[in-house]
Structure 1
Amino acid sequence: MSDILIISDNQTRIDYLNTILTFLGENCRFCTYANAIEAFGKGDNWSAVLIDGETPELAEDIIEKFPETPFINVGFQLSGERSFKNLMGSLFEPITYPNLNELLQKSSDYYTANRPLDALVSGKTKLFRSLVGNSAGITEVRELIEQVAPVEANVLILGESGTGKEVIARNVHYMSKRQKGPFVPVNCGAIPGDLLESELFGHEKGAFTGAVSARKGRFEMAEGGTLFLDEIGDMPLQMQVKLLRVLQERIFERVGGTKTLQCDVRIIAATHRNLEGMIADGSFREDLFYRLNVFPIESPGLRERAQDIPLLLQELASRLEGSKQNSVRFTQEAMRSLMAHSWPGNVRELSNLVERLSILHPKQVIDIEHLPHKYQYDEDGQQQPLAAVKQDENAERDAINAMFKYAEANPVSTETHLPVAADTTLPNDGVNLKEYLSDLEISLIRQALDKQDWVVARAADQLGMRRTTLVEKMRKYEIARHKEVDDTTSI
């Protein structure tokens, strides 16, 4: 996983940038110029580096030393006429949301283009890349893979659909001594029972109607490698008997053939079913179960490791960027809401959601309002009615946009520190953020209306919103122009 690095000797600038980037859902770290070289030497991958241009000579020296890292200059114009291909641009104060988001996207594109997958990770980390997370469940899975991969034991992967059982199987294969051999997957539940035998063992010419030529089965295709039998619980009993013979004797015959073929294949099976319950009702053979269940691995459901969702979102977004597709970013609120979802489809459902959002909102920052309704949860983890979610979250988003717009229209000197819309010191007893943002939004709306002589269309343009949206907010906050009372009016 990659983070964003802030390099500055100005703590006020560091705090302000960290606040903005955290709101956008980014993981940030920071250091001074004195520790900058050391930060690059620890093997971390920076998807963007925001570097304080207050000391241009030092900034240019660092930018030049690390050509594969994308840099964004902050606060000051760099001296000299030198051009760096890894300098994405400059952010001048006051920083605006559109400019920051554009430069972060350019940095992400540059990072992906100059850091291919093989260069980003190596060895076991590369193989575990699809099993990201720090939860106890996924950490245990990675440890079990490391333990079983070097030996030849059969592996049984258990878990709900969509939890990444095939990903686990591939990791076992590519970390084993058979990694140079083929990895052949077959879904036992997707193939009709009467065709499964031919699919696994192959057939000879004329073995049945339509067999116009001989054909190798999956066991022959996987020779010297690994055969992954997905959804083994859906295999018919008749086929279970034949599979058991292959596991015991390592020999088989093609359908319609008499020649006995030797088999050098490692078996990894997976299922979402309760095999022990199936043994009890007679739908799965107990002897086959023990042959397969030499080394079981439990693949945890996403709801059991919700804390891994932010890392998974970054991984899925990184995959989209690596495949040259539009990607997205997520705010902290959006990630919090997604962590409250139950995820019946597990990681597959999350992956589909990210791809859908990247199509609907390409290269955008996804907030809670952009999520489909069923993924929108309040701070207590309760799903709210769609209208309530839209109203609350749109108010917060519009307030943030209004702050950026107001700061852009009212610049302050860059020689002191980055501007803030109000006192950003958090009181010891806390603050009601929604009330704070609402008060700020009312203040900015009134200022814009006063400046534009209460011409709503021009005020909406200054605030960066549609006229109808401003009218709705004026109605919501009961904002109206107070008419002067004529003192000469007769009583």
Structure 2
Amino acid sequence: MSILLVEDDESIAIVITAALEAEGFTVAHCDSIAERDRLLAARAFSALVTDVMLADGDGIETLGRVQALHPDLPVIILSAQNTLDTAVRASDTGAFEYFPKPFDIDELVRTVRQAASSSGLASGEDEGEVAGQGLPLVGRSPAMQAVFRMITRVLKNDLTVLILGESGTGKELVAEAIHQLGHRQAGPFVAVNTAAIPADLIESELFGHEKGAFTGAVSRHIGKFEQAEGGTLFLDEIGDMPMQAQTRLLRALQSGSIRRVGGREEVSINTRIIAATNKDLEPMIAAGQFREDLYYRLNVVPIHLPALRERAGDIEALARHFLVQAAGEGLPRRQLAPDAVEVLRIQPWRGNVRELRNFIYRLALLAREDVIDATALEPMLAQSVRHEDAAQTGPSDLESAVRHWLTVHQPATGAIYDSALAAFERPLFAEILRTTGGNQLRAAQMLGINRNTLRKRLSDLAIDPDSFLRRP
């Protein structure tokens, strides 16, 4: 089988070509759109692997004429522009797969093999231009690229999505992105925080009620399901939904219809369901606190949102994004100096992206200089930490603190050790480096570990020791 590779980065092209040829493929390589079109006109290929940014144009924008002439040719898109917009543009072309750089070469080879074998079965319908610009989902980390890829896979269908992640990671933003970029964007987006509704009112809020259904029901009330007709219903904090409401929700999902409280009429529903929770539902199922059958109904497509500490490389982009947002809302226009970015990057951010956003807005309001450096940032950060610590009700001894941390963060099974270790090491190393003024040799001696070990862990945790250097 013959593959056409369009890639202007010679080193990447060499790696891909070698990997594909090792699997028995014949690879034709070019580095421009013009040469791509010439080769496609001259011979047939089993699949096209193309980068986005090429010397003579945009690889995605020019795919239309390729697909018009070769409708059965599977296309795999590579891109270093690892934004949600790029992922959506790639998906909207009907591409077989999209790979943000850097990518796993073995996974690419497997995908090329599948694409070549499919011989056109993977081509999708073009649904027109999708407005993906301006959505507040920021991140180039591998963890966020995985989220973007999952979002693109559910845009053209109505599969139920369950968004999982800690508080403050942006679960509602993902739900809004799926709605705004999907084929239901013309319909309403209705968000319901099921944890904020009293247990005795949640069924009425979701399904509506008829006049006289209960004391105080003086007129018919249309519930959230009917309000979201033709659009998307987002059920946030689904893990806090009372068991009786869970039963009725399951029935609605199974039957495709609802019955208002106190009513007899079955009302058909045409609504996409997206649910979210910051809890681990499987232990709740074992404890009888969440229905197992409802879990499987909701968990058709799970999307796991990473905690901010797991994507520290995105903190700079997020912080600058929030400064731009703050300026757009009337706050002073600020910029971050490199040393300030490093200080932000090593913070634990227990409240995740929401906490970072609130801090950046406060910084934009209170900073005295237009360019904020570490010296200006640290006092406000210390004040925030003191307020957070004062609000903590957890005990101070280490054993109890571990129990408290596990309760609050509920790390996924299989990741508890790594998550806990990172959560403990980050503030420990930061405090020791602060004590030594950034001197790694003294820090390693105080910790009783090898300097190379310390250096590796600092790199793994994205901690810059230079940010702790004492200033004259």
| Shorter-chain TM-score tier | 0.5 to 0.7
Using CA pairs under 8 Å that are at least 6 residues apart, name the structure with larger relative contact order, 1 or 2: 1
Post-superposition offset of 1:214: 1.2
Question: For the structure 1 residues 141 and 436, does the alpha-carbon distance in structure 2 shift closer, same or farther, using more than 3 Å as the test?
Answer: closer
Could you report, residue by residue, the CA deviation over 1:373-414 in whole angstroms, capped at 9, with x for unpaired residues? 44799999514799999xxxxxxxxxxxxxxxxxxxxxxxxx
For the pair 1:382 / 2:430, whether they are aligned, the reply is yes
- What is the aligned counterpart of 1:224 among 230, 255, 261? 230
Query: Contact 1:227–1:267 (CA<8 Å) still a contact in 2?
Result: yes
For the pair 1:126 / 2:174, whether they are aligned, the reply is no
Could you report, residue by residue, the CA deviation over 1:219-258 in whole angstroms, capped at 9, with x for unpaired residues? 0100000000000000011111000000000111111111
Structure 1 segments of 4+ aligned residues over 6 angstroms from their partners:
375-380, 384-389, 432-437
Could you report, residue by residue, the CA deviation over 1:15-55 in whole angstroms, capped at 9, with x for unpaired residues? xxxxxxxxxxxxxxxxxxxxxxxxxx999xxxxxxxxxxxx
| CA distance, structure 1, for counterparts of residue 470 and residue 285 of structure 2 | 61
| CA distance, structure 2, for counterparts of residue 436 and residue 172 of structure 1 | 47
Question: For the structure 1 residues 388 and 326, does the alpha-carbon distance in structure 2 shift closer, same or farther, using more than 3 Å as the test?
Answer: farther
What CA RMSD, in Å, does the superposition of the two structures yield over aligned residues?
A: 3.0
SS at match of 2:136: helix
Query: Contact 2:342–2:467 (CA<8 Å) still a contact in 1?
Result: no
- What is the aligned counterpart of 1:341 among 327, 343, 347? 347
Higher CA-based Rg: 1
**Structure 2 segments unaligned to the other structure (5+ residues):** 1-55, 59-128, 386-424, 438-465
SS at match of 1:215: coil
1:177 is matched with 183
Query: Contact 1:320–1:326 (CA<8 Å) still a contact in 2?
Result: yes
Q: Which amino acid aligns with 1:221?
A: Q
Percentage of pairs with the same residue: 47
Query: Contact 2:348–2:427 (CA<8 Å) still a contact in 1?
Result: no
For the pair 1:283 / 2:289, whether they are aligned, the reply is yes
Moved more, 165-174 or 374-383: 374-383
1:242 is matched with 248
- Spell out the pairing of 1:259-338 with structure 2 (5 A cutoff): 259-338=265-344
1:109 is matched with none
TM-score, reference length from structure 2: 0.54
Question: For the structure 1 residues 362 and 194, does the alpha-carbon distance in structure 2 shift closer, same or farther, using more than 3 Å as the test?
Answer: farther
2:357 is matched with 351
**Structure 1 segments unaligned to the other structure (5+ residues):** 1-40, 44-121, 390-431, 439-491
2:164 is matched with 158
Question: For the structure 1 residues 381 and 433, does the alpha-carbon distance in structure 2 shift closer, same or farther, using more than 3 Å as the test?
Answer: closer
SS at match of 1:126: coil
1:361 is matched with 367
Could you report, residue by residue, the CA deviation over 1:116-151 in whole angstroms, capped at 9, with x for unpaired residues? xxxxxx945415x42211100111101110011111
SS at match of 1:194: coil
Query: Contact 1:337–1:381 (CA<8 Å) still a contact in 2?
Result: no
2:150 is matched with 144
Query: Contact 1:186–1:230 (CA<8 Å) still a contact in 2?
Result: yes
Query: Contact 1:150–1:175 (CA<8 Å) still a contact in 2?
Result: no
| CA distance, structure 2, for counterparts of residue 342 and residue 436 of structure 1 | 22
SS at match of 1:173: helix
2:258 is matched with 252
Question: For the structure 1 residues 378 and 205, does the alpha-carbon distance in structure 2 shift closer, same or farther, using more than 3 Å as the test?
Answer: closer
| CA distance, structure 2, for counterparts of residue 228 and residue 126 of structure 1 | 22
SS at match of 2:195: coil
Q: Which amino acid aligns with 2:152?
A: E
Q: Which amino acid aligns with 1:126?
A: Q
Question: For the structure 1 residues 364 and 380, does the alpha-carbon distance in structure 2 shift closer, same or farther, using more than 3 Å as the test?
Answer: farther
